[in-house]
């Protein structure tokens, strides 16, 4: 496999793509995804109003043992 040299313009383009991808993922993780999860949680709660969370089995067993 032979490697070829890259032009400076292509190196800059790759760097801009890498930084842009990082910034988009950072913004998405801090801004978009938490809001989206909150909205989906509310929609799920409205679609199933009689649903209640169940406690973890190990917590129930631990309380019974004490």
Counting Cα atoms < 13 Å in the Cβ hemisphere of 28 gives 6
Q: 0.85 exceeded by the pTM?
A: no
Percentage of residues of the chain with pLDDT beyond 70: 98
Backbone angles phi, psi at 53, to 5 degrees: -70, 150
Q: Please state, in angstroms and rounded to a whole number, the distance separating the CA atoms of residues 57 and 63.
A: 10
Task: Output the furthest CA–CA distance in the chain (Å, rounded).
Answer: 71
How high is the pLDDT of residue 17? 98
Q: From the centroid of its chain, how far is CA 31?
A: 10
How many residues does this entry show for the chain? 66
How high is the pLDDT of residue 4? 87
For residue 36, pLDDT over 80 is answered with yes
């Amino acid at each position: 496999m032979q490697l070829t040299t890259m032009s400076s313009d292509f190196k800059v383009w790759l760097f801009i793509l890498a930084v842009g991808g990082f910034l988009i993922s950072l913004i998405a993780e801090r801004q978009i995804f938490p809001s989206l999860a909150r909205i989906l949680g509310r929609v799920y709660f409205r679609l199933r109003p009689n649903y209640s969370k169940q406690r973890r089995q190990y917590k129930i067993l631990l309380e019974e043992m004490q």
